[in-house]
Amino acid sequence: MSLLEFLRQPWPWYVAGPIIAAVYLMLLWFGKSFGISATLHAACSMLGAGKRIPFFRFDWRTQLWNLLFVLGALIGGFIASTWLSSPTPPALAPAFTEWAAANGIQSWATGMAPTELFGWEQLLTVRGLVMMVIGGFLVGFGSRYAGGCTSGHAISGLSNLQLPSLVAVIGFFIGGLTVTWLLLPHILAL
Amino acid sequence: MMKYLKFILLGVVFGIMFTKAEVISWYRIQEMFRFESFHMYGVIGSAVVLGAIGTAIIKHWRMKDLYGNTILFQDKQRTWPRYIIGGTIFGLGWALTGACPGPMFTLVGAGHPVFLVTIASAIAGTWAYGALKDRLPH
């Protein structure tokens, strides 16, 4: 098997988790801290939100490294999907793919988000607005309210044994379970 | 420039891993919240265990960063409403979009450019929080 073939296989959790831990530790070694939602805070400041709102009155350039990090993450997504895409569909749980098919989601074998729900045309539908626009808004609002997202709380915070981060992660699950089990069936029916 | 290049390269590795391990997949996030697969629990769980071991080592030996400064960890403020309310709001958005902030950027590169709209919404949400901050319980 060539190196390229090796890399093109789907990567298991025990490869992904250690890489995330390595990135967290590398950022500490670079004198920074791992927290991606801080880029959204910096973006507001960069766009002039500090003129009226004191919360955004700080030098966004102190987060330039983080903005470049997410730019890299975007480029990484391009590299992986262009040159390293898997020859086989994702090994999702059969129970899940059955649920997806029953809800009109057929595109799970290709891509990372269902094209039936996430696309430019869907932006004009109520369902698309709820999932892409309101969903994004809640991610931005909630992460800043909680003082961090999955990287800042679930990885950095839990690694440092912070009780507040555990509470935040429990909150992430309360919200996520509410959507998946209570709201999504209605949203998909829209 | 070299000072910043390492962050871009680290981000590239991160984005490739995110895509190859399907961490950016809406399906994987739904599967996680439906408790149908161990995959995402394995990703996050192993990252936290290794991160905690690394953090303990750094603290125990008071290790220094690349620039010779001792690596310090800030304790999170111990006021609870913000974590449970803010966390829940975040979780609602996480399950709807199938993406937390990092994956949103990777998704744009990985053939789902419509997530630029989601990123713009997330910036608007952050902005709205900043505007309402003083009126919210923390």
Q: Nearest by CB to A13, which of B8, B46, B92? A: B46
Q: State how far the Cα of A106 lies from the Cα of A100, in Å rounded to an integer.
A: 7
Residue A131 is assigned to a structural domain of this protein = yes
Q: State how far the Cα of B6 lies from the Cα of B4, in Å rounded to an integer.
A: 5
Residues 90-129, chain A: which have Cβ within 8 Å of B?
90, 92-93, 95-96, 99-100, 108, 111-114, 117-120, 122-123
Nearest-CA residue of chain B relative to A100?
B27
Q: Nearest by CB to A132, which of B55, B74, B117? A: B117
A122 and A79 share a domain? no
Residues of the domain holding A48:
1-85
Residue A96 is assigned to a structural domain of this protein = no
Mean pLDDT on B71-85: 95
E strands, B3-117, in order: none
Phi/psi of residue A48, nearest 5 degrees: 95, 15
Q: Nearest by CB to B65, which of A29, A77, A180? A: A29
A18 and A80 share a domain? yes
Per-residue tokens: A141: 């609002």
Instruction: With beta carbons less than 8 A apart as the criterion, state whether A172 and B87 touch.
Output: yes
A138 and A183 share a domain? yes
Total domains, chain A: 2
Q: How many CB pairs under 8 A join A and B?
A: 493
Determine contact: B69 vs chain A, CB below 8 A.
yes
Q: State how far the Cα of A77 lies from the Cα of B28, in Å rounded to an integer.
A: 16
Question: Given a cut of 80, is residue B1 above it in pLDDT?
Answer: no
ipTM: 0.96
Determine contact: A143 vs chain B, CB below 8 A.
yes
Asked whether the beta carbons of residue B94 and residue A139 sit closer than 8 angstroms, the reply is yes
pLDDT-derived band of residue A109, with 50, 70 and 90 as boundaries?
confident
- Which chain A residues touch B80 with a CB distance below 8 Å? 164, 167
A65 and A144 share a domain? no
CA distance B31 to chain A (A): 6
Choose among B106, B136, B101: nearest CA to B120. B101
Q: What's the DSSP call for residue A181?
A: I
A124 and A185 share a domain? yes
Each residue's pLDDT tens digit, A75-101: 999 999 999 999 888 999 999 999 999
Mean pLDDT on A167-173: 98
CA distance B63 to chain A (A): 9
Asked whether the beta carbons of residue A113 and residue B112 sit closer than 8 angstroms, the reply is yes
Mean pLDDT on A67-77: 98
Each residue's pLDDT tens digit, A27-63: 999 999 999 999 999 999 999 999 999 999 999 999 9
Where do the domains of chain B lie?
2-37+74-135
pLDDT at position A150 is 96
- Which chain A residues touch B18 with a CB distance below 8 Å? 16, 73, 76-77, 80
Residue A103 is assigned to a structural domain of this protein = no
- Listed in sequence order, the residues at least 6 apart from A148 whose beta carbon sits closer than 8 Å to its beta carbon are A35, A37, A156, A157, A165, A168
Residue A108 is assigned to a structural domain of this protein = no
Tokens 């769980």 sit at which residue?
Answer: B45
> For the purposes of burial, counting CB atoms within 10 Å of the CB of A125, is it exposed (0-12), middle (13-18) or buried (19 or more)?
middle
Choose among A20, A120, A162: nearest CA to B77. A162
Question: pTM of the entire structure?
Answer: 0.96
A79 and A136 share a domain? no
pLDDT at position A48 is 96
Determine contact: A42 vs chain B, CB below 8 A.
no
Phi-psi label, residue A9: left if phi above 0, alpha if psi -120 to 50, beta otherwise: beta
Mean pLDDT on B117-131: 98
Q: State how far the Cα of A35 lies from the Cα of A159, in Å rounded to an integer.
A: 13
Residue A173 is assigned to a structural domain of this protein = yes
